Amino acid sequence: MVATVTFKRLFASLIIFFYFFIHSSFALEIIRDEELEKFTKELTSELLTDTNLNVKDINFYFINNKEINAFVTGGKNIFINTGLITQAYDYREYQAVIAHELSHIIGGHIFNTSAELQNLSNKALPVYLLGIIGIFAGSADTAITSIMLGQASVQDGFTYYSRNQEASADQAAINLMCSNNIDASYLVSFLEKLDRKTLDSVSNENYYRSTHPPIDSRKDWINISLKNKNCEYEKTQFLQEKFNLLKSKLIAFTHSKQEVYAIYSGESDVDLYANAIISYLSGNHSVSLEILDRLINREPNNPYFRELLGEIYFAKADFDNAIKNQSIAIELANEPSDLYFMMIGSYLVALEDQASKYDGIKNLKKSIFINPKNTYSWYLLARAYADTGNLPLANYATAERYYLIGERGLALEFAQKSINSIEKNSPEWYRANDLMSIISSSITDEPSD
């Protein structure tokens, strides 16, 4: 069962909310955001230069939670609270935590948590997408939309890191940072910040310390290790600037208007970015557009400013400018993004003319090529095929979506509907046959009651 959550009226489609309902009393609210994901991978890549681990092999999940925490689950899955980022002052504090969690993966510290993610295609817990404004109904007046985006599997029961594993991960994190010319003292800085926080909040202490040993012990281990190393390096200024922008964005999306205005009241890019977002969320589109124009004049190659600009224009039903700015964001991005192609695909599919819908199909197929498990792209693709009169492919895309969210019966039904009319020997024809075979076998193999 999915709990009902009340959000602000508007939540930009850059930040996409998912829900992993682990227990009726414990839910993880997972977000996706292009800027957040890219920056985190950039910091992670710096740490992995002399390891056998590739950043592409790591799955990052960002939890919308103001508490300070991060943890690893079985495999190569790292969960990070947004509070860890919004309460850090230096990007190296965030990078130090990433280094620590990477060290658990590299060290093979195997454990289970109640949030262990195994296989996104397994039937288990629902993953929901919230906040695509108007995309579901093609209307700028649509309220926050809830769309199933996938499935997540979980394992029950907690076991904790041993003190030896935690000390080993801290030591390895120091080595990762120092060997890559990153000041490892920021791991201590993070722990000191956490320690001050837990003095004011029992819930923080319970939350973080449920997965980590006492902070004082960890600081002692780290300080002893640092005494024997020459690990004092200067920060990389452009990374700090990226971090400051990202932090302001997260605060704007996750804090009240009053809090945002209290923190960001100046004229710097960071202040303007936060104010553009909070103005947008408050419905003051004209103010937000004016601020974004100023930001783009200062930094014309920033794709995230263009992305937000496109989202606002879409909310205003100015579809031409929405598509224009999202297209620029795609051009400015340094690598293809399933989110970006999904967004422009959704804008195009919402239009009435057939040419735009066909362009939308092309972009949605690009999104799916990058991330075949993006079920909202599959939903939009099915809608576009239906709108262009291609019901067999609409049925096929619907079958893929239902399969990903664990509805095998419906997936089989739509695959069967599609198979007789899809062009024989086409990729979709082969895949529809595969789906029917996979689903039929899984149903047959299920034990009877």
* Same domain assignment for residues 376 and 266: yes
Q: Would residue 14 count as lying in a domain?
A: no
Question: Residue 426 falls within a domain, yes or no?
Answer: yes
Q: Are residues 196 and 263 in the same domain?
A: no
Residue 312, pLDDT above cutoff 80: yes
User: Does a structural domain hold residue 132?
Assistant: no
In a domain, 366, yes or no: yes
Mean pLDDT of 182-198: 80
**Distance, CA of 386 to CA of 388 (rounded, Å):** 5
Strands 59-63, 16-23: pairing kind: unpaired
Domain-embedded: residue 8: no
Alpha carbon distance 263, 215 (integer Å) = 29
User: Buried b / exposed e across 317-346, counting CB within 10 Å, b at 16+?
Assistant: ebbeebbbbbbbbbebbeeebbbbbbbbbb
The whole-angstrom separation of Cα 166 and Cα 218 is: 8
Q: Give pLDDT, residue 165.
A: 74
DSSP annotation of 399 reads H
Does 280 lie in the same domain as 394? yes
Q: How far apart are CA 377 and CA 398, in angstroms?
A: 10
Decide if 260 contacts 209 (C-beta within 8 A). Answer: no
Q: Which residue has the tokens 């909040």?
A: 201
Please tell me whether residues 212 and 312 are part of one structural domain.
no
**What 3-state DSSP class applies to 72?**
strand
Range of the domain at 96: 33-118+154-227
> What is d(CA 100, CA 93) in angstroms, rounded to the nearest whole number?
11
Considering 207, 227, 247, which residue would you say is the last residue of a domain?
A: 227
Q: Does residue 123 surpass a pLDDT of 60?
A: no
Selection from 412, 418, 399, 407 nearest residue 438 by Cα: 412
28 occurs within a structural domain:
no
Same domain, 67 and 158: yes
Token output for 102: 């990477």
What digits encode the pLDDT tens for the residues 151-181?
333 332 233 456 677 778 888 899 899 999 9
Which CATH number covers residue 49?
3.30.2010.10
Q: Please say which residue of 227, 245, 280 terminates a domain.
A: 227
Distance CA 353, CA 364 (A): 17
- pLDDT at site 196: 67
Please, are residues 198 and 209 in contact by the beta-carbon 8 Å criterion?
Answer: yes
CA 429 – CA 393 distance, rounded (Å): 9
Let me know the angle formed at the C-alpha of 218 by 215 and 222, rounded to the nearest 5 degrees.
Answer: 140
Over range 282-290, report the average pLDDT: 94
Mean pLDDT, the chain, rounded, equals: 79
Mean pLDDT confidence for 17-22 = 40
In a domain, 126, yes or no: no
Q: Report the alpha-carbon distance of residue 205 to residue 327 in Å, rounded.
A: 45
Reported confidence tier of residue 445, pLDDT bands at 50, 70, 90: low
Q: How confident is the model at residue 213 (pLDDT cuts 50, 70, 90)?
A: low
Q: Number of structural domains, the chain? A: 2
Identify whether residues 411 and 296 lie together within a single domain.
Answer: yes
Q: pLDDT tens, 391-425?
A: 999 999 999 999 988 899 999 999 999 998 999 99
Residues 295 and 202 in one domain: no
- Final residue belonging to a domain, choices 173, 208, 227: 227
Are 101 and 211 in the same domain?
yes
Q: For residues 57 and 244, give the distance between their C-alpha atoms in angstroms, rounded to a whole number.
A: 27
Distance of CA 268 to the CA centre of its chain: 26
CA distance 169 to 108: 10
What CATH number is associated with residue 292?
1.25.40.10
Which residue, 385, 268, 337, is CA-closest to 13? 337
